[in-house]
Amino acid sequence: MMVERLSEARIQALIASELPDLNGQFQGHRTGCQCAAHYDGPCPNAAVYVIEAHATDECKDDGVNEFGNWVIFMCHECATQMVIKICMDVASRGLHAILSGRGESLRCETCEAPIRNHRDILRSVRPYEEVFPDGA
């Protein structure tokens, strides 16, 4: 099953229809970083990015949007670490495919979306203020 990427027009239409309600919830309240990678508790930093990343091999599970992506608010430091982790994951999958002798292309095991590079997993990184212009 091939999954088609949304056009920019469709993405903008979804944002226009879905985000106004969310904006009201966050208005005046700066969201904290939602990074779960800290061993000592939640990240104390404020979110500066809204990141949409494909839930590779888990895109039909709970906690993802209708496109199989996680939407996460992150600070700059955690977002940087996430991008590095995604790049390493793509490289590791590619190396594993080469070493195992499989000539097939890399794909999400759940939806079969191709994974050619980090941008196939990291779907969007937007400044928090762009998504929530009236948020504090």
Residues (pLDDT < 50) of the chain are 1-2
Query: Does residue 106 belong to any structural domain of this protein?
Result: yes
Exposure letters 4-23 (e unless 16+ CB within 10 A, then b):
eeeeeeeeeeeeeeeeeeee
Query: Does residue 2 belong to any structural domain of this protein?
Result: no
Q: What is the pLDDT of residue 1?
A: 43
Query: Does residue 99 belong to any structural domain of this protein?
Result: yes
Nearest by Cα to 47 from 26, 20, 65, 25: 26
Q: What is the pLDDT of residue 18?
A: 65
Query: Does residue 82 belong to any structural domain of this protein?
Result: yes
| Edge-to-edge strand ranges of the sheet holding 49-54 | 69-74, 49-54, 122-127
Q: How many structural domains comprise the chain?
A: 1
Which residue shows structure tokens 């939640």?
Answer: 42
Query: Does residue 3 belong to any structural domain of this protein?
Result: no
Bridge partner list, 54: 69
The contacts of residue 82 (CB under 8 Å, 6+ apart) are 35, 51, 53, 72, 74, 122
Query: Does residue 136 belong to any structural domain of this protein?
Result: no
